[in-house]
Amino acid sequence: MPKKIYISIFLIIIFFTAPTALAYIPSDPLYSQQNYLYQINVEKAWDTAQGNGVVVAVLDSGVDINHPDLKFNIWKNPGEIPDDGLDNDKNGYVDDINGWDFVANTPDPRPKFEPGYNSDGINHGTAIAGIIAAVGNNGKGISGVAFNAKIMPIRILSSNGEGEMSNLITAIKYAVNNGADIINLSLVGYDYSEESFKIIEWAKDKSVLIVVAAGNAESSSGGIDLNKTPSYPACYGNKSDNQLLLVATSVDANEVKSKFANYGACVDVAAPGENLFSLAFFDSDKGEFNDYYSYNWSGTSLSTALVSGAAALVKSKDRAAGPQKIISAIINNTDNIDEKNSGLAGTIGSGRLNVAKAVNATSTPMKGYVAKLPWSPAVYYIEANKKRHLFPNEVTYWSWYSGQWADQDVRTISQADFDSLKAGKNISMRPGVKLIKFDNSPRVYAVTAGSFLCHIVNGSAASALYGAKWQNRVVTLGSNVEADYNNDGYCKLNDNAKYPDGSLIQYQGSQDIWYIEKNFKRKVLPEAFIANKFKSEAIIKNVRPDMDYGTGNAISSLEENILIYNK
C-alpha cells in the first residue's frame, strides 16, 4: 500500500473575544477577527519585519492563486514564460508560472473538484496560505503573519485531503530547487519513509527550513502521544544543535493544549490552533464556495502556518539566517505555558509562540577566527561557538581569503585550547570561485551553497556557462576530500542550464555584478564586494542578456550566509 499523508485539521466551534488594541494595526477590515495574531504578539514584530523577500512553499491541497486577498503575494517563477508550452527554465516542469499540481500533474496549483471532494480538502491549502501571507494593509479582508512574503503553491493533497508520500518527496525537491526559503507541511502521516527522511535532510542541507504539524486525533483521546506512536514527518526531527525540522502543536486561547492535538518529544513549539479565521477557495459556480473567507478552522495545521509565518518574519529580518538560526530564534523565545498544562512539560515544545520575541532576538552572529597549532601547518576556522573546521588544502583556504600568507591573521593556539574545541566538518571550496574535479574521476563540478556539487555534464555545457577557457577554472582535488562535499545527483548543468547558487555574473555591456541565489540575481554593491571578500577572478563575464533571473534585494554589506567563514 502507498504511504499516505493527511491534512491536520480538527473542526470545533469556539466563540472568541475581541482582542485589545494593538501597537500596529493593519488596514484590513476583518483584522479584528484575527484574535490569534494578538495571542502570539505579532504586532511588535511588524515594526522591524514583514516578510519581504521570503518565499514560503505551501505543500497542501492547492491554493486559490486568484484570491483578491492573496494573489499579490503568490510566487511567480522568474524563469518561465506564461502559456507558451515550453519548459523555459529547464526545471522539468512546463509553464509552472505559480507552482505545480503533483496530484493532477498540471501547472495549475489550485484545488480541484475531484470525485469525493469535501470542503475541508478544497479550502485547506488556501486557509493555510492566508494565515501565512494574506496581503496586509490592502484594505481587504485579513492580514497574514508575514504579509509581504510570497507563497509558492504546490498541490500534493487531493480534494478530500489525502495524498501520497511519493508526491511529498517530489514536491519538496521542487520547492527547494525553485527558491523556497521555508516549506510549510500542515499534514501528517504515520508511516516511516526513509526516502522522505532523506529528502528532508537534503532540504535542510540546502538551507531550507521545513515547518511541520504534530497532527491531530479525536478530542476524546486527548491527542496521540508521539513518544509512543510517532507521526511523520514531525518525528524525523531531533533536539540537537543541528535540528532537522520545526514541529508545531496546538493550544487554545487560554494556552492549554488543544484536546485534539498530538504531543511528545517531537514537538518544538505550541501555537494557537482553535477557531482561526482565514481565507477560503472561491468558486461562484459552487454554492458552498461562494465566500472568500472561512471560519472556525482548528487543528495543528493552523498552528503550523502561524509558525511558518513567524519563521518568514525572522528570515526577512536576517536574510542570512539558516534553518537552525531560525529554529533557535523561535523555540528559545517562547512564553512558558507549563503551569497551564500540568503533566505535559517537555511534550508541547518550549512554550507558546511569541513572534515579536523571536524576531527581536535575531542578531548577527559573532565572528570566528583562523588558528593553528605551533607544531603543525594545518589551519582551522574556529567558530564563535568553539567548533573547529579544517581547511583540508591550500586551494580551499584561498578560495575564501585573499592576500599574502604573511598578511593572514592566523592565531597560534595551545594543544589544550585546541582539544577544548568541538570537531566540525572540513571546509569545502567556496561556491562560485572555482570548478573542481577529483583525482579519481574526469567529472567536473560547480560547488554551490551547502557544499553541494553540480555535475557539468560535458564540455559543451561548460563552455556555454563558463566560456571557451573554462578549463582554466578547474582545480583538481584529492579523492580523500570528496567526502567533504554533498553529491546527491540532483544537480546537473547542461547546455541550457542557468548558473548555480554562489556564482558572480556580469552581463554583456554592463559593469554591474550580480550574485546568484535561489534563482534570483542580487546586485553586489561596491562596498559589499569587499565586505564579502568576493574575488574578481570569480566573475563570469559577458553573460548573455537572455540569461535572466528574478531580481532580489541588493547586497550592500557583509552577509553571513555568503561569507560564512568570516574573521
| Active site amino acids | 60, 124, 301
Rg (CA), the chain: 24
DSSP string, 193-257: -HHHHHHHHHHHHTT-EEEEE--B--GGGT--BTTTS--BTGGG--SSTT---EEEEEE-TTSPB
CA distance 414 to 419: 9
Report the C-alpha gap between 253 and 40 in whole angstroms.
10
3-state secondary structure labels for all residues of 495-516: CCCCCCCCCEEEECCCCCCEEE
82: left (phi over 0), alpha (psi -120 to 50) or beta: beta
Measured distance CA(224)–CA(21) in Å, rounded = 37
Chain mean position to CA 43? 23
Residue 513: all three cell numbers together: 555584478
Pairwise CA distance, residues 7 & 125, whole Å: 9
Nearest one of 196, 223, 195 to 212, comparing CA atoms: 196
Q: How far apart are CA 505 and CA 534, in angstroms?
A: 12
Cis bond upstream, residue 78 (ω within 30):
no
The gap from C-alpha 485 to its chain's centroid, in whole angstroms, comes to 21
